[in-house]
Structure 1
Amino acid sequence: MANQQEIDWPVSRSRIYALLGQLTTRQPNPEDMERLIRAESIALIDALFGDPDIGAIFRQAALLHSTGELSPDTVELDFQALMRVPGPSYTHPYESCYRDRRGNNGNTKWGGICGPYVQQTERYYESEGLSPMYDTVDFADHIGAELSFMAHLCEQQGKALDDGTEEMALQIRQKQEAFAKEHLFQWAEDFGSELSAKAMTPFYQGVGRMLQAFIQLERTVGIQEN
């Protein structure tokens, strides 16, 4: 029988995946933005990642918000430029674009959208009875869709452990590992770096850095059994 710490771990991971999925699929409303940059939330970020630079970026966002220099409208514009509108700040938020890209040092030729990873990720979602979030994203290999799917799997693992169905929890953990290795781990850190570099606001600079740090944490300890 799983102890409470074993149950809480995938639940905590689910919440972080869900937050990152939300922030990369739609612009945060003012309440969500303020919740992330408040002192208590930044202290949790410091404790989780052990990287003072991430907290420092969010503290800068909080300071600018308190002086009126960082408004929800500014963050919304940043989100649109990063995630929706092709232009100099656009991040190409699809696995196909990242895994099929060529070149570097400013000469990157991005892969095309709707590559083979769309159908591959769709099959994973459908195995859990989920749709590919086409009400909010255009293709199933969108970063927000993949992060949200991992949130779902972590939540289901926590429920299975809480119910005492440890064999089911193991199967769900194995699906997390397979999906992450086949898809998310192949590009999410690069995407986080691109997001942080292109963001106009410290809010999305912090989101990009947090995504990078969280994926690094997941690679080492997150998915493994406690």
Structure 2
Amino acid sequence: METLADALQARSCAYRLLAFFMALPTRDVADSVLAGSLRADVEEIADGANFDPEEARRVTEALDAENSFWQLDAEEALRALRLDYTMLFTNPEGAVVSPYEACFKGSDDFDSSGLTFISPTALDAERVYRQLGIKPSGHSNESADHMGVETEFLDLVYEQLAGAVDDSGDEERQRLATILEDFDRGHFLKWGAAFFSRVQNAAQTPVYRALGCLGVALAASERDVFAGCLAPCA
């Protein structure tokens, strides 16, 4: 029987997976995908994260869809993944979707400081990260409002929440849930669903299409999760 701690740990793993693929894929990543590791991870997450059944189905079916990608060798798969990543996030001629929260939204909700070179959105994200006592590393020292950094933070806070549910008692659980709510309301829920929906619709490989579906499913269930964690234990 799945427990709350199991569901929280599954969400931690899901956000870790998203953060991992927000960096340029390597040959090891391509080898792992072709060996079936991503499929196994996605299926386990979909079973354990308490997604709506329809959302869970979309995630797994995105990987199961007929696609020539699955007939590629490792080098060809790596090229396809890197091309998809670049087209989606970093194409200097116009990426499909900006991986930076402030740029994606087209405005900065926290822009009252007059700062020119430092995003107030990124500064506010760092404020929440400090509440958890960590500094997500991201990849290549990205800005704090990069989706790779934001999903890494969500991985870490869910991992700590899962431990708190089992071991730390009601006070620590509610402290962590309050941090999660602060970050979700101030950041992830403002752009996460739209960001991953664009990834899902624009991706050329089943890998990034499935990751887009996974992000949409996580965003859709996020409010219910932190609300449940804020409720006192019976």
TM-score, normalisation: structure 2: 0.77
1:218 corresponding residue in structure 2: 222
**AA of the residue aligned to 1:99:** K
How many residue pairs end up in the alignment? 212
**AA of the residue aligned to 2:30:** P
CA change 1:114–1:198 in 2 (3 A) is farther
Q: After superposing the two structures, state which structure 1 stretch, 197-206 or 147-156, moved more.
A: 197-206
Gaps of 5+ in 1: 102-111
2:124 corresponding residue in structure 1: 120
Q: After superposing the two structures, state which structure 1 stretch, 172-181 or 192-201, moved more.
A: 192-201
Correspondence list, 1:193-204, <5 A:
193-204=197-208
Alpha-carbon distance between aligned partners in 1 of 2:52 and 2:92, rounded to the nearest angstrom: 32
CA change 1:209–1:137 in 2 (3 A) is farther
1:181 corresponding residue in structure 2: 185
Secondary structure, counterpart of 2:195 in structure 1: helix
For residue 94 of structure 1, report the CA deviation from its aligned partner.
0.8
For residue 132 of structure 1, report the CA deviation from its aligned partner.
4.5
2:58 corresponding residue in structure 1: 53
Contact 1:21 1:145 in 2 (8 A): yes
Alpha-carbon distance between aligned partners in 2 of 1:68 and 1:54, rounded to the nearest angstrom: 22
2:169 corresponding residue in structure 1: 165
Matched residues, percent identical?
23
2:99 corresponding residue in structure 1: 93
Q: Deviations over 1:75-115 (max 9, x none)?
A: 122112322232344411111012235xxxxxxxxxx9853
Q: After superposing the two structures, state which structure 1 stretch, 198-207 or 112-121, moved more.
A: 112-121
User: What RMSD in Å do the two structures reach over aligned CA positions?
Assistant: 2.9
**AA of the residue aligned to 1:15:** C
Contact 1:13 1:222 in 2 (8 A): no
One of 61, 73, 84 as aligned partner of 2:79 = 73
For residue 213 of structure 1, report the CA deviation from its aligned partner.
1.6
2:30 corresponding residue in structure 1: 30
Contact 1:82 1:195 in 2 (8 A): yes
For residue 175 of structure 1, report the CA deviation from its aligned partner.
0.8
Secondary structure, counterpart of 1:223 in structure 2: helix
Gaps of 5+ in 2: 108-115, 230-234
CA change 1:92–1:180 in 2 (3 A) is same
Alpha-carbon distance between aligned partners in 2 of 1:113 and 1:145, rounded to the nearest angstrom: 19
Contact 1:42 1:59 in 2 (8 A): no
**AA of the residue aligned to 2:65:** Q
Correspondence list, 1:79-158, <5 A:
79-100=85-106, 114-133=118-137, 135-158=139-162
Contact 1:114 1:139 in 2 (8 A): no
